[in-house]
Amino acid sequence: MILNKVQATGPWPTVFELDLGEAAQLNTSNGTTVIKPIDIEYHTEPEYWVDGIHDNRIIAAAMVTVEVDGEPMVLCCRPGVLPVTVGGVRLMVETVGKWAHGFIQYRPLYHGYQDVCFSVIEAGLPWAPEDIMFPIANYRWRSSTYHNTWGSMVPFNCVYYQRGEDLGAIPDRLSVVAMRDGTVVKAPRPGVAQDYNPVTQDVGDGAQIRYSHMNIEYLRTDVVAGTELKRGEHIGLTGQTRIGARKLLYEPRLNVELYLDEIQVNPYPMLIESYFRTYPDEVLALAGNFGHVRTNGTYRLDASRSVARPGSEIVDYEWHLHDGSVVKGIYADVHYERPGYYAEELVVRTADGAEDWDAISVRVYAPTWSKKIARGWAYYSPSREIRPGTEVEFWTCLLDVNNVLIDFGDGSPEQPIGAFDSITHTYEEPGLYMVSVSGEGPKKEPAQVKMRLRVEP
């Protein structure tokens, strides 16, 4: 018997929960689809930096077996996954109960108390209204190695699975803009820093968007409760505020959260779709943000979350590994014999010749080591509209890393730079470049982060 009936006609996705074996009828303008979750299989990774993790394992993915109109299929719940189209709907798993709040964690979700939490919208509709735009002006996706996506373990922090989307950016450089016309319902007192300086905007149809971590000096003083913001209107600048001060010295960013009828939901699909709507990029190589593995362990690199502009298709995947080898294909299994902080490069190409690069940071743990291990991130600005002769600013935000060098990827000599430092560089030719920041940790273990930079003609 189907006890749950869910309207999936938009303009925002509908969130609903089911226990295993329980079914829901999803109603659209074109008919109905019935879904029933059957089983959940958890995939974990080792984590030895954060205290309080059971068995030193974190959840990296949950594979949810479902029946859709009686046919079995598996939906993957993990950071960076987009909705799938099946049976007349676009469907994704928001979270599962154990991941949402099944153990002591920072910021557990206040929903997801049944086994599986889904979101759904009618097939053919955008995941959010078509007038939603990206929240940072002149931004390029992955112009920093710091990036946390819904459900991912925030690295080198606490037991904290990410809520919202963290978009790494050098503070006080890029404009944060309203994603849609709407009314501010909450903001800090003008000129007075409050927690992480969140600005919450009601954008209609039961949806609210929250923009956080802007520094108070650059947050508009006239943005207060009741202020009407137009789509694309400036709010403030990307920042690093937490607990009312510039506490995020090593992790500057903008955090974006989405609430539907007061339920916090995954903003990632909305952000990806709005990014392609706002910017002309043809394809995004997505290697994953962070990976975790033990010494003498094997980590599977996975490029399947890379995404091309609608109407295009990725046809070629290529991994360039830290040992100099190249692996063709979506997946690459990498064996790590030494502890360290590694960067593995990804190249993707589309059928029409577009190309993009990315890199994942993989922390290889020695379980007996202390927390004094190499870690950190790198950033650059501006992230878009870089042309030959443009001065580009690079930031290193590394901890417990010595003898740091930066390679700009253009054949120029490596330059020494501090672990927490900045440097500028100009490029002579258009093209894609992989910028590498390398050093060594306290036990002489390798440490490296990489980020793609595009110089336009």
Q: What is the pLDDT of residues 116-125, one digit of tens each?
A: 999 999 999 9
The CA-based angle 229-199-78, given to 5 degrees, is: 110
* Per-residue pLDDT tens digits for 292-302: 999 999 999 99
Give the residue-averaged pLDDT of 386-408: 98
Give the residue-averaged pLDDT of 198-207: 98
Q: Phi-psi category of 55—alpha, beta or left, where left has phi over 0 and alpha has psi -120 to 50?
A: left
Q: How far from the centroid of its chain's Cα atoms is residue 167's Cα?
A: 7
Give the residue-averaged pLDDT of 11-29: 96
Q: How far from the centroid of its chain's Cα atoms is residue 433's Cα?
A: 21
**Residue 411 predicted with pLDDT over 70:** yes
pLDDT at 395: 98
Give the closest residue to 14 by CA, choosing from 122, 134, 123: 122
**Residue 3 predicted with pLDDT over 80:** no
Q: Hunting for tokens 């002591």 — which residue is that? A: 104
pLDDT at 4: 87
* Per-residue pLDDT tens digits for 343-391: 999 999 999 999 999 999 999 999 999 899 999 999 999 999 999 999 9
Q: Which residues contact 137 (CB under 8 A, 6 or more apart)?
A: 174, 175, 176, 177, 232, 234
Give the closest residue to 107 by CA, choosing from 203, 210, 217, 234: 210
d(CA 336, CA 105): 29
User: What 8-state DSSP symbol labels residue 285?
Assistant: -
Band (pLDDT 50/70/90 cuts) for residue 1 is low
d(CA 449, CA 286): 15
Contact present, 92 and 268 (Cβ < 8 Å): no
Give the residue-averaged pLDDT of 425-441: 98
Q: What is the pTM of this model?
A: 0.97
**Residue 103 predicted with pLDDT over 80:** no
Q: What is the mean pLDDT of the chain?
A: 96
pLDDT at 112: 67
Give the residue-averaged pLDDT of 105-113: 78
